[in-house]
Structure 1
Amino acid sequence: MKNLIIVGARGFGREVYDLATQCSGFNLEYVIKGFLDDKADALDGFENYPPIISSVEDYKIQENDVFVCALGTVKWKKHYAELIQAKGGKFINLIHPSTKLNTNAVVGTGLLVFMYANISNDCIIEDFVTIQGYVGLGHDTKIHKWAHLSSYSFTGGFVILEEEVTLNTRATVLPHVVVRKGATVGACSMVIKNVKENTTVFGVPAKKLDF
């Protein structure tokens, strides 16, 4: 039996805790040992959660430990997952049993996939991608490492999301569009053409925002 440790005990970490309890491996392949978080009081005022064991930096990995990274911001997800990997830690997938994985869909390691996500035919999902509830991925979508897809976002067929892309709630990316590395698509936006690296787009149709 493995001991699952959730990296991050803030709001998203609490959601990932519930995801972990709802997956088929709970109490069969793993038990939940607790959280790692630099903020030792992050769970103060919240009941019915396992404890914060340590900060990420101070934690010494044990033989049966496995990890998931419950950080909603791509930058920090990557930072802390790489810290755990550098210590020799191993990550697992949490994929909700209501998720639909269609024919030839391929998934990597360290994924978080929430309820009623639909991963269509021949999709490729690389490591450490987060797919929140009710996301729809059209056939032949390719999602590169570290991407984060918020609830109800959608990609058409043959979409490519490069590394570290964020789709916010109800964002839609039309077929054959490429969203380049580090780009962010705002909530309720519709992307009809390729998005440049490290840019933020918003609106219908989505246009670049300058900050």
Structure 2
Amino acid sequence: MKEIIIVGAGGTGREVLQWIKDINAVKPRWIIKGFIDDNLNALKGYECSHSIIGSLKEWQPGPREVFVCAISIPQQKEAAVRALKKKGADFTEVIHPTAIITQHNFIGKGLIVYPNARISVNAKVGNFVTLLTSIIGHDVEVDNFTTITSHCGINGRVKIGKRVFIGSHVAIIPGKKVGDDAYIGAGSVVIEDVLPNTVVAGVPARFIRNNV
């Protein structure tokens, strides 16, 4: 049985720890080794069953270890994954047993899917996407390292680029495109395409500033 290490000991990391326990309760899959985080005090003040066992910067992956990247900020997530991959790290998916993933879709490497999330038919979800309790509709495309937070509705044929962050309770109407490195604020309703490297928010979502 492989040993799993959670990259990032923030709120997302602590949630992912619980989802791993839920998966193991159905069928034992991993030995939980702990967290790695460059902030060695990230768990201070929180009750947690597992500890930070080292820093991302210093960690040398072992042959029995697999990793899951529980960093929600897309650019930081990509940087952490690339740094560990250079050292030979192997990543795994963490998909909660209550998530619904239909047939006839493409699921990438390193995916995290929260409880009761749904991925519909003919969707394409790229590598290292984090999907909280939200819905990805039919024929949707989500590119690498994107994070979709809670209670979002990504409707049919929407295309989302790389490293996009989508805040909670966002709705995107069918067929719209969201460019790379965009940020969509919580509660927004997206009725027009979102340009790359922009921050949008509101009902309807409007340009706020460049995302730099």
- TM-score class normalised by the smaller sequence: over 0.9
**Aligned AA for 2:38?**
D
Q: Which residue of 2 aligns with 1:173?
A: 172
What is the correspondence of 1:37-52 to structure 2 with a 5 Å cutoff? 37-52=37-52
1:22 & 1:76 partners in 2: Cα distance?
26
Q: Which residue of 2 aligns with 1:64?
A: 64
Q: Report the alpha carbon displacement of residue 210 of structure 1 after superposing the two structures with TM.
A: 2.5
2:185 & 2:37 partners in 1: Cα distance?
28
Give the conservation status (yes or no) of the 8 Å contact 1:20–1:26: no
Give the conservation status (yes or no) of the 8 Å contact 1:174–1:191: yes
More displaced 10-residue stretch of structure 1: 97-106 or 190-199: 97-106
What is the correspondence of 1:50-199 to structure 2 with a 5 Å cutoff? 50-133=50-133, 135-199=134-198
Report SS of the residue matched to 2:18.
Answer: helix
Q: Report the alpha carbon displacement of residue 29 of structure 1 after superposing the two structures with TM.
A: 2.2
Q: Tell me: CA distance 1:25–1:143, structure 2 relative to 1, closer, same or farther (3 Å).
A: farther
TM-score, normalised to structure 2, is 0.95
RMSD: 1.4
Give the conservation status (yes or no) of the 8 Å contact 1:171–1:186: yes
Q: Tell me: CA distance 1:27–1:55, structure 2 relative to 1, closer, same or farther (3 Å).
A: farther
For residues 79-137 of structure 1, what are the alpha-carbon distances to aligned partners after superposition, in whole Å with 9 as ceiling and x for unaligned?
1111111100011000011111112022011111001111111001010000001x011
Q: Which residue of 1 aligns with 2:9?
A: 9
Q: Tell me: CA distance 1:25–1:142, structure 2 relative to 1, closer, same or farther (3 Å).
A: farther
Q: Report the alpha carbon displacement of residue 62 of structure 1 after superposing the two structures with TM.
A: 0.9
1:114 & 1:100 partners in 2: Cα distance?
10
For these two proteins, the number of residue pairs brought into alignment is 210
Q: Report the alpha carbon displacement of residue 44 of structure 1 after superposing the two structures with TM.
A: 2.4
For residues 122-181 of structure 1, what are the alpha-carbon distances to aligned partners after superposition, in whole Å with 9 as ceiling and x for unaligned?
001010000001x01110000000000000011111000010111100111110100000
**Aligned AA for 2:191?**
I
**Aligned AA for 1:68?**
V
Report SS of the residue matched to 1:77.
Answer: helix
Q: Report the alpha carbon displacement of residue 20 of structure 1 after superposing the two structures with TM.
A: 1.1
Q: Which residue of 2 aligns with 1:34?
A: 34
Q: Report the alpha carbon displacement of residue 28 of structure 1 after superposing the two structures with TM.
A: 2.3
Aligned-residue sequence identity (percent) comes to: 33
Q: Tell me: CA distance 1:92–1:114, structure 2 relative to 1, closer, same or farther (3 Å).
A: same
Q: Report the alpha carbon displacement of residue 48 of structure 1 after superposing the two structures with TM.
A: 3.5
Q: Which residue of 2 aligns with 1:203?
A: 202
Structure 2 residues not aligned, in runs of 5+: none
